[in-house]
Structure formats: C-alpha cells, structure tokens
Structure 1
Amino acid sequence: MEGWQKIVRSSHAFPVLSSSGIESLSADEQDLEASCEEGAGCPEGCAEGCAEGCTEELPAGENGSESSSSSSSEDDSDTEESDTRRSDEEQEKKDSQPDRNESGGVNCLPHCEHCRNENAQREQVTPRRLAGGQYLLKLDADGTYQCSVTGLIFEVTEAVTISYSLLSWSKYAGLVKPPWVVGGPLFDVHCKAASALTSIAFPHSLCLGDGDSHPAFKVLHIKGAGAAIEPSMDYSASHVRWLVSSLSPVGPLIRSEEPLLYHGAVVLYKAVDSDPSLLFRVYVATNNESFIKDIAKAVKHSKKKFIKIDKPPVCQKLLQKGKRYRLLCEPEAEVTPEEIEFVDGSLLKLKSYIEVYLEKHEDFTLSLIELESEAVVWKAKLRESDWIHYDQNKNELKRNAVSIKRRKSTNSFSEEETHCGKKQRSNSTTDGIKTTNLLTDQQLMAIAKLFGAEWKEVAIECLQMEMKDIQQIQAKEQEVNMQKFLLLSKWREREQSNGTAQNLYNRLGEKVSYDIVQLLEGFMAQ
C-alpha cells in the first residue's frame, strides 16, 4: 500500500475546464474526437504489447468486436415520530453533500469507516463533455491529475489531450472468466500522444478494510476480439493503478479466496403514469459507474416511464456476495421480492430490482436491512416533494404544447415563414385523409428554446447537419434561439415530408433533455 503513495507527484497549476457550455473544438480536439469515433488504436510509436510481468491471454468473446464502441442514508432512530423526522431530515441534509458526480452516478470514492484514509494530494480537473458520452481532458503540463467526474487518475509526462468514455461490462461478459470478477468500472481511453500517458488508476468498488488484506488486482485489457489479463502496478483503498501498454478498453478485475466486501449504492426510480398509486424500482448495486450506467439504460428502455429520485445513494454498511437483504417500507407497502441475495450484477444484461407499490400518496421510509445481523444498510425518507416538481414541469410542457397548437399565426413572422407554414398545412392532407403533420415554425421555436449549449453537437451527430451550415446561420443571425430555430428549419426543409415530430423524436433519442422529449411527445399526441 505504501508504494501507491510514491506515484503521487507534485501538481502543476492547471485551469479547471468547465463542463457547462460546450465550445467549438480546436483542430487537435477535432482530430482526437474523430479518431476516437473511428475506434482508432494508439498512434504509431506507442508501446505495444503487455506490461511487464506475466499476462493471461483470454479467448475472444462473442461481443469482443464491440470493443471500439464509445460508449445515505439517514440515522436509524426508534424515538417518537417528531424526533425521528427531525433527525432524519438533519442527517439527510448532511448526507446529500457530494455523494453524486456530475454524470448523475454515485461518487466513486465514498467515505468508508473500514477503509484506510488516503492523504494523497492530486490535482482535481473537470473534463469537457462531448457527444456520445465521451469526456475530453486537456492537461497543460506533466503531473498526476484526477477526473472529478469519473474518478480516473492520469499520470502524464507532458501536456496532453485525453478522451475517455464509460463502457458496459455486460458487453464483454464472455471475456471475464472465473475466478476473476469485476472490480470497478470499465473505460475506453484515447490519447493522441499515447507515450506521454504513463499510467491510469481506475476506481474500484471493493472495501479493503484497514489495508491488511492483499487481494489480487489485475486489469482486463480488451484488444480487438480478445483480451488479456495484465498485472496492476499497485492499488490503494480506492484505486487500481495500471502501467499503460496500449490504449483500448480497460477495467479492474479482482481474484480473492475470501468473501468480497463491496461499497454499495441504492438507486431509486419512480414510475410516471396517470395512476393515483405509487410504483418504485429500487436497485441495489455495487458502487460501480458501469453498473449504474447500465441500470439507467435499462430503466430508459422499460415499457413504463420512470424518473430518478434524488436520494443519498451510498450504503453505510458494506455489501457482501451471498448475503441476503430485505427492503422494509414504513408505512407498509407491497414489496416484491421480499428478500434478495446480493450479487454483483455488472456482467448481467438484465439488472434485478425490488418493486415497491403504495396505493395512496403519503410520505414513507425505505430501509435496506441485512437479514443476518439485522443492521440497517441504507435508509431514506421519501416525500411527495421529491417528485412533485417533475409532475408540475411535465404538465407545464403539455400546456405549452396545447397552446402552441391553438395559437394563430401572428405578424411577427416574415412573409416567407408564413408561406412555409401554409405549405406545411397543405401537405398534412392527401385526398381528404389526414397524414402525419410536419413540424410548424411555432413548434420548432418551442423546441429551439429548450436546447442547451450542446445544440451544435446534437445537430451534427443526430441531425447530420454540417458545421458549415451552423457557421452560415451564425454569420447571418446573432440571437442564439433564432440560430437554433433556423437550424431546425433547415433540417425540416431537407427532410421534406419527413420533417415531423416523430422523425425528430427518433433522431434525437437520448441525446437531448427530458423536457424536449416530453414536448415532442406532446406534439405527436396532437
């Protein structure tokens, strides 16, 4: 463990990059992003092969060809209700401090009373977000830097630009063979000057106690259709450090003869429908960003619509494979299943969950209990205020969609725009039979106003617009909302009869905010 401290070198002054407001990429960044999207390997001259030490070659998995894809608790109290509520609220406020990172997942480095505290000082840097779930980090000097979003630690020997993305372990389940198990999230890292990136430290989800245990940490290095298990250089209470051999998907593995103890997380989702009852999904997971990302993806593709409930997710007691846990609800609710056996589901495509059903709206408390010791692992108080703002916002969006439909044309639009609107309306009927309506100017303006700073990336990636189109619009129009509107108008003109809400909804997919998705669904329902 002492060897881990040796890798930390003095930090250099570095301006933190803001993750809000995506700016135009530089030429170098554009080249880097393009190479990442194409799945290019490391540049010529990068050290190929495995790190020093023995490696175990693994057979190709059926999913190996996908390797280039980019992809709280509260205090447990038995006092009277008034004291319990006050205690819970105070503890919840305290626990709601940064347990969550910018991507909506759980912080990879939770405080744990069993883990040895680390005093290593590393420069915290915030990456720029790119489309497709990628992050971009521009480092101005040599040193050791830690990503504030993912927890990754990069050791570099010179100024470099690094891009990376979080991947799903389930895609590569065939490459992880017993006795090896997943130890933390899986990442795909790219660096234009690959030789300058000497080591990467990956966050892991295991609890190593006071440091007396000596688990066998290694890393799975996915190469094309196969993979190799390579040695780690060192590990700490929170990270596994790997000497970079070549750049492609890499993630930590662990082999241990003793039962593994995990830092856990409980993730909550509420069903959104017109039913007056309440339906929740409760996921019990390891504190592994790949696992938690998979959960969010599974919920998104569910037949029901769900929203995430923001509660402190980190478990205050460790989770152990094979132990049984029960979710309790006060007041009583239907909980299915009543008990679960904990397993790390990182490699499973289907993520198991507990369903909680309440017939009426009222405040309630959820508690995850370890059956063997009856210890409270996680606890949270849920109130209507936790989701009422979402419902109000959704209703407001529906009202806006209806008002836009009923609003008559005004003189604020140019003669050309009015003519365009008339042309759309005439195209909505064929031989007296109503067909799918084209998006109107008013609808496009409503959508444009909801787009954030990422609108250019969305236009290029999802709508197949070109940068020259954006530049031409910006040269003619200074107001940002009008720029977005004109771009959407250009897309509608190109699509002709396919310039519909349904087509735009299909193209934007998960790249836009939920507000835009709801607005488009409102347009489609008209």
Structure 2
Amino acid sequence: MDVSEDKKLDKSPQSFTPELKTESTKVSYRFRCPCPGMFQCSLTGLVFVVDQEAELLYNTVQWDESRLQSAGKTAAGLLFNIHCAEDAVCELHLPHCETEDALSSEGLLSVVHITDDGMSFLKPLEITDTHVIVKVSHLSAFGLVRDAGQKLRGLFTRKKRVCGQLLLFLRPPARDIQILDVFLLPSNLPLSEVAAQQDDAVYIKISSACKLKVGERYIVRSDPGKFKIQPESAVFYSKFGVNFFPTFEVFLTPNIQTLTLMVKHEKGTEVWKRSIPLPSKGPKRKTVQNPADKNFQAEEKLCAVRAEFIQRVSDTVLNQLLDKLLERGVISDAEMESARTKSRAEKAKDVIDSVRRKGSEASSFLISALCQLDPCVSRELSLR
C-alpha cells in the first residue's frame, strides 16, 4: 500500500477493538496491525495509517493546561500517548466534536505534538466531518487543540455548538434508592475512559448523540416526573481532563422498569429525549465471598449472561480468549481451531458453552480473562 506524501489512501479504515488493560481507573489500549493499511479503534475513534505490520500501544495522559494557555490554545480532545516499536505509523486521524459552522473557520483546529524536547503544533493535512488528519514521523503524545486567539473572537462571541453525547450509568442500589448518573460530554470522549471510573455502575446502552452549546445551561426532566433530579440545572463545559463526573443525578424509586428522560436548554429547547429501559434487578455491590462458593458462582454467572455474552463480545476479544484458554489448558488445539473457523456468534457460543461444561475452575478463568481483555463488556454483563 502506497502511503507516500503525494498519494492519499482511498479506502475506508478497518475497524478494530483493541485489547484493554485497566489499572485502577487508567485504561491502556493494545492492537497488532496485521499488515499495512488504515485501522480505526472502535473505542477511541483514533485512526492509524501504518506502512507495515506493527503493534500499537496507547493511553490517555493529562493535559498541561498552563502550557496550552501560554500558546493561545485550548484542548479540543484527549491527549494520547502513542507508542509503536516498529515506527510504522505515518498518519494519524484524531476525532473531533466540531459542528459544520465551526469547521468553516480556518485555523480553528490543529494537533499538538509533545516530546521530551518540548511542544510543537502540526498543521492538519485535512479536516473531515469527524477527524483531523496529520502526518507523523515519530510518536509520543498527540492531542487535538483549538485556537483560542483573537482571530476567532467572532466565533466565540456567540456560544459555540458542538457534537455531544449523553451517557447513562446506573449505580448499585443503596437502601431503597438507585441513582442514575447522567453525563453530558463532547462526542469525542471515549466511553471506555468514562466507564473505567464508574466502579460497579452499569452502563445503559442508548442512542446518545445530541448538539450542545458550550457555556450554556441545561436541565434534565423525567416522565414520570416524581423523581428527584440534582442539580436543577448545569452548565455544559467542553472539558477534556482525566476525571469524569456526572452532570446530573436522577434518584429512582424501587422496581421502576422504564422512564422517559429528556435534556432541555434552559430556554426550553429540547436537545435529547429517550425512553430508558432499566435492568429488572440493579447491579449488586461487591461483597466478600466465601471462597468455597466462588467457583460455583462463576458457573452460575456464565449461565446468566450467556445470551448477552454471545451478542456483545467482539471477534477480536473472542480470538484473544481462545489463546488464553489454550495457554491455560482449558481447551485443546482442536477445539480452538474448530472455534476459529466459525462466525462470531457461533464462536461466542462455542467459547462460553464449552468452558461452562469444563467446570468451575474453567468458568472462573474465563470470567477473569474477559475482565482483563474487555472491561467495558465485563461491566455491562456485571461480571466485574
């Protein structure tokens, strides 16, 4: 594949789900590009163009806001620390959350490159509806920044609208109350980064896209309207720090199955409205278990989440699980080869059913391996 300066790639990126490693609330991503090409991370939205087979390692790091301010810039996305031992990445596409009217302003977006030698700014090769594209020669920390200079004063005299997202997490019940956390965030903040900080809360998958104005105030309303919601209103800020806290908290009553949630601008304009299905039983808090019961419970857990496991686990994660199960001796070479030839759904059925049949120790190992490889799905299945 030609990835030279004077020839653009004319194919869409190949999507991949990276291997995840979560330590405390910090997430790191790993993926092996099998060949030259264009590859897009399904979790972060990052696109890598590589000129050879290569292993990518990346994670988010904290911005130094004072350095950005001194350069007349402000963060417009997360700061990613990227490594590739093969030095194979030649182009990087960083996701943005700008709307069409903002993108018409020349010089609005650029990419900062931070190394041990200092900070430099890269002019984009191209800005698409979703990404800012830059050429790269060597890797370290890259992040999207917005020009806050005087030449863009006209754009910011009115409140700037961005592409946003609304994320919902249901906390474990406490006494007779459950709290639904509502996050108003820019669209280019990865769910994986937010979910890693939510402890035992369950992510509620729902369409999340909305348009939000930076610096303006929003309110949340529910139907039925008997639920307490705090605060009464909140200002939306386009922040890209490393800590994520809910914008609103909805206090639910026991045994509620569905509710309608809406987000409105303080002047009354509705920006998001959805009917929210809630789990019939809320997520349970982690408790100290009797070691004698632990393995037996693992088999029950796999049985309880079988349908969702088959539906949610990606093909990439399934292949990684097969490798780990083979290394541990849970499955044989023949079982692994047989599973790899099947479709994703059939492969998922093979993995969970064969492991359950092999007993309690095998079931516990599969749960542990899934929690390591895909924390988001593990949390959704209440296996963490």
TM-score (normalizing by structure 2): 0.68
For 1:119-518, list aligned pairs within 5 A.
122-132=12-22, 133-141=28-36, 143-156=37-50, 158-168=51-61, 170=62, 172-173=64-65, 175-177=67-69, 179-194=72-87, 196-209=88-101, 212-224=104-116, 227-256=119-148, 257=152, 258-259=155-156, 260-290=160-190, 292-300=191-199, 305-315=200-210, 318-332=211-225, 333-347=227-241, 349=243, 351-359=245-253, 361-362=255-256, 363-372=258-267, 374-383=268-277, 386-388=278-280, 439-440=291-292, 443-444=294-295, 446-447=297-298, 470=327, 482=358, 485=361, 513-514=378-379
Do the aligned partners of 1:199 and 1:244 also contact (CA within 8 Å) in 2? yes
Q: Say which one has the larger Rg.
A: 1
Higher share of residues assigned strand: 2
For residues 248 and 82 of structure 2, the distance between their equivalents in structure 1, rounded to whole angstroms, comes to: 34
Q: Which residue of 2 aligns with 1:58?
A: none
How far 1:262 sits from its partner (Å)? 1.3
For residues 106 and 178 of structure 2, the distance between their equivalents in structure 1, rounded to whole angstroms, comes to: 46
Do the aligned partners of 1:126 and 1:147 also contact (CA within 8 Å) in 2? yes
Higher share of residues assigned helix: 1
Tell me the alpha carbon deviations over residues 293-321 of structure 1, each in whole angstroms, 9 at most, x when there is no partner: 44323322xxxx42222221111xx2222
**Alignment: residue pair count:** 324
Tell me the alpha carbon deviations over residues 368-425 of structure 1, each in whole angstroms, 9 at most, x when there is no partner: 11124x2211111224xx211656xx69x99xx99xxxxxxxxxxxxxxxxxxxxxxx
In structure 2, give the amino acid aligned to 1:296.
A
Tell me the alpha carbon deviations over residues 90-137 of structure 1, each in whole angstroms, 9 at most, x when there is no partner: xxxxxxxxxxxxxxxxxxxxxxxxxxxxxxxx1433245254542314
Tell me the alpha carbon deviations over residues 427-459 of structure 1, each in whole angstroms, 9 at most, x when there is no partner: xxxxxxxxxx7x34x633644786895668989
Task: Give the SS at the match of 2:77.
Answer: coil
Q: CA 1:382/1:311 → structure 2, altered by over 3 Å: closer, same or farther?
A: same
Q: CA 1:247/1:276 → structure 2, altered by over 3 Å: closer, same or farther?
A: same
Do the aligned partners of 1:135 and 1:164 also contact (CA within 8 Å) in 2? yes
Q: CA 1:212/1:273 → structure 2, altered by over 3 Å: closer, same or farther?
A: closer
Q: Which residue of 2 aligns with 1:85?
A: none
How far 1:247 sits from its partner (Å)? 0.8
Identity of aligned residues (%): 18
Kindly report the root-mean-square deviation, in angstroms, between the aligned alpha carbons of the 2 structures.
4.3
Q: CA 1:336/1:243 → structure 2, altered by over 3 Å: closer, same or farther?
A: same
Do the aligned partners of 1:277 and 1:361 also contact (CA within 8 Å) in 2? no
Q: CA 1:228/1:273 → structure 2, altered by over 3 Å: closer, same or farther?
A: same
For residues 344 and 326 of structure 1, the distance between their equivalents in structure 2, rounded to whole angstroms, comes to: 17
Gaps of 5+ in 1: 1-5, 12-121, 403-436, 460-466, 490-503, 520-526
Gaps of 5+ in 2: 1-5, 23-27, 303-316, 336-353
Task: Give the SS at the match of 1:237.
Answer: coil
Tell me the alpha carbon deviations over residues 495-516 of structure 1, each in whole angstroms, 9 at most, x when there is no partner: xxxxxxxxx9xx9899593499
TM-score (normalizing by structure 1): 0.51
How far 1:284 sits from its partner (Å)? 0.6
For residues 252 and 364 of structure 2, the distance between their equivalents in structure 1, rounded to whole angstroms, comes to: 43
How far 1:289 sits from its partner (Å)? 2.5
